[in-house]
Structure 1
Amino acid sequence: MGRWVSWLLVIPFAVFAALRLSSWTPTWRWASIVAFTPYVAAASLIPLLVALILQRWPAALAALATTAVFALIVMPRAIPNGNPPAHGMRLRVLASNVSGGQADAVSLVKLVRELHPDVLTIQELTREEAQRLDQAGLRSFLPHSVDRSAPAQGSGIYSRLPLTEQPMIELGGFRQARATINGVEIVSVHPCSPSDVHDTPCWSQGLRALPRAGGPLRVLAGDFNSTLDHPPLRHLLSSGYRDAADVKGQGLRPTWPQRFWNVPPFTLDHVLADHRIAVEDFKVLPLTGTDHHPVFAALRLP
């Protein structure tokens, strides 16, 4: 009986680990399930302990191998990485999903005043929220902008420096603003959420539509609706980006939801920088009125 119990506990975790290592999506629900990888990794210790207690050595060995795979996947996010040599301009980037214009504009402008970002990317920016930000004094800190606000899924880019607008990425009504600032392309990232079978293709297409690394320097900042365990985001990173949180050993810091909801917290908001760019600092910040934490990265250009 103990043998079967051990294997019944081990097998689901082993299958999960194998699917996570692959890029195969067996069902559209996998796009949501794979976000639980850090939690499943921690829980994978349970079948190992059970097998050891029951002295079921083959099952214990399989459980140990499964836990080791999860550790190799997850633990590097908590270990700071080095940086490439970079001696150019500093670029301070703040990204915030304002939850359909519900975030407190005064609090967001206060963050801008305290952090002194060169660039602010906003997701779910409505026209009303853009007006409230103007009234709260955002333009006194970041006078230049690309406004792609919309009733629900708009976005925007605000900058301390002059910028040049680039063609917007729009899929499923989600508007991802783009601009070039001092030769660096900035994208306010917000693809669809993979919440159901109809939105999952829109989500993957929205991530695939983001510019790959290589050529001009690029920084992608915003709500990716993806963790580092989602294949489309992993493919994007493999083109030559680095996740700022991961570089600073904060890749397991959750960004959504801010308050307890009906799911555990996940890391959905990211700042991705070209691999030639150094990451000097990273922060996850509070903001009232929205379900997402803003994220901040201090970058150094080559």
Structure 2
Amino acid sequence: MLVAVCGLWVAVRAGGVEPPWPGSALLAFTPWVVVPAVVGLGVAATIRDRWATAAAAATVLVLALVVVPRSWGTGGESDGVVLRVMTANLRVGGADATTIVDLVRDNRIDVLALQEYTPEAGDAFDRAGLAALLPYRVADPEPLGIGSALFARTPLTGGATPVDPGGFVEATATVHPAGAAAVMVRSVHPCAPYTRAHERCWQRGLAGEPRATTRGTARLLMGDFNATLDHPGLRRLLASGYRDAAATTGTGLKPTWPEDLVPVATLDHVLVDARIGVRTVSVHPVPDTDHRAVCAVLTLPGQPDAG
């Protein structure tokens, strides 16, 4: 039974199937399935059940192929203008603003994306001195955790605060780093598939995110995707031409949620299109929120010649 359950789980994951709720939520724990899969392989081998052993071995092999590359990376460092970014879910505005401002200062962050940005959070960040570090902003503070914001060290243009199918604001703007080509940035936050009713809006939210492009302005998506690299919706978004910054640098198995309990799932991501390089990714605990903050050091192509 253990081998059968693990084998079915892996077949769903490898086949790109979107299972009905609660299967979609459970897919977030796919990396942990390697533990019972290895146990099943050991038991099957001990009792010398050839068919169960073969099935268990195949399950462990597929899991390894799917999960292990996130820990060694695929290579993403490149020359270019450095852009340091950070994303954090504030848990209905309750995250400790001083800690986040300290992270911005210590990591020399150029662009900060915040989710669940409330009016109270806006006041807290003003008091903590965020504007002195990142003076440019596109923000829509809203109650009930649906607000969003972008803060930047250099000017933002084309600022907008579109609302996704789940009702969450996703602050969007183009950042203009000194000496580099402009980058479109979005603070991503689709609704979470924590009930059957919310599963559809979660799927529509992921499907509605801007696809990667190799023309025009480079694209950078970061935030709480409420999805891991094992969810078909996020994998389809990646297939359009994005790379997950953490997986690229070998830190893709570092969990970001739930920080207030035991972090077991990587729901927060920085996605970059093919023109953006990735040097490092790190995750950081923040008091009074259930998500860890994610920082990434990226590289951008230089400013195109005016002529």
TM-score by length of 1: 0.93
> Tell me, what secondary structure is at the counterpart of 1:174?
coil
Give the aligned partner of residue 191 of structure 1.
190
Cα deviation, residue 289, structure 1: 1.2
The code of the aligned residue for 1:176 comes to E
Residue in structure 2 matched with residue 293 of structure 1 by the alignment: 292
Q: Which residue of 1 aligns with 2:55?
A: 62
Give 3-state SS (helix, strand or coil) of 2:29's partner: helix
What is the match of residue 5 of structure 1?
Answer: none
Deviates more, 1:33-42 or 1:191-200: 33-42
The CA deviation at 1:25 is 2.2
| Amino acid across the alignment from 1:227 | T
Instruction: Quote the Cα distance in structure 1 between the aligned partners of 2:190 and 2:33.
Output: 25
Paired with 2:19 and 2:90, the residues of 1 have a C-alpha distance of 33
| Alignment match of 2:128 (pick from 129, 136, 141) | 136
Q: Is 1:151 the equivalent of 2:143?
A: yes
Q: Distance in 1 between matches of 2:95 and 2:29?
A: 27
* 1:80 CA drift (Å): 2.2
1:169-204 deviation digits (Å, cap 9, x = unpaired): 312221111000122000001000001111111111
Deviation at 1:135, TM superposition (A): 1.3
Q: Residue type of the partner of 1:92? A: R
What amino acid maps onto 1:102 in structure 2? G
Match of 1:172 in 2: 166
Q: 2:100 aligned to 91, 95, 108, which one?
A: 108
The unaligned stretches of length 5 or more in structure 2 are 177-181, 302-307
Is 1:169–1:209's contact at 8 Å kept on the other side of the alignment?
no
Once residues 84 and 18 of structure 2 are traced to their aligned partners in structure 1, the CA distance between those partners, rounded to angstroms, is 36
Conserved 8 A contact 1:244-1:282: yes
Distance 1:83 1:133 in 2: 33
* Structure 1 match to 2:231: 230
* Aligned-residue RMSD, C-alpha: 1.3
Question: Is there any run of 5+ residues in structure 1 with no aligned partner, and where?
Answer: 1-7
Runs of 4+ residues over 6 Å off in structure 1: none
Q: TM-score, normalised by structure 2?
A: 0.92
Q: Deviation at 1:148?
A: 1.5
Amino acid paired to 2:249: K
* Amino acid across the alignment from 1:180: T
Residues 1:73 and 2:66 are matched in the alignment: yes
Asked if the contact 1:93–1:296 (Cα under 8 Å) also holds between the matched residues in 2, the reply is: yes
Per mean C-alpha deviation after superposition, the further-off stretch among 165-174 and 291-300 is: 165-174
Deviates more, 1:280-289 or 1:159-168: 159-168
- For 1:243 and 1:83, locate their aligned partners in 2 and report how far apart those are by CA, in whole Å: 10
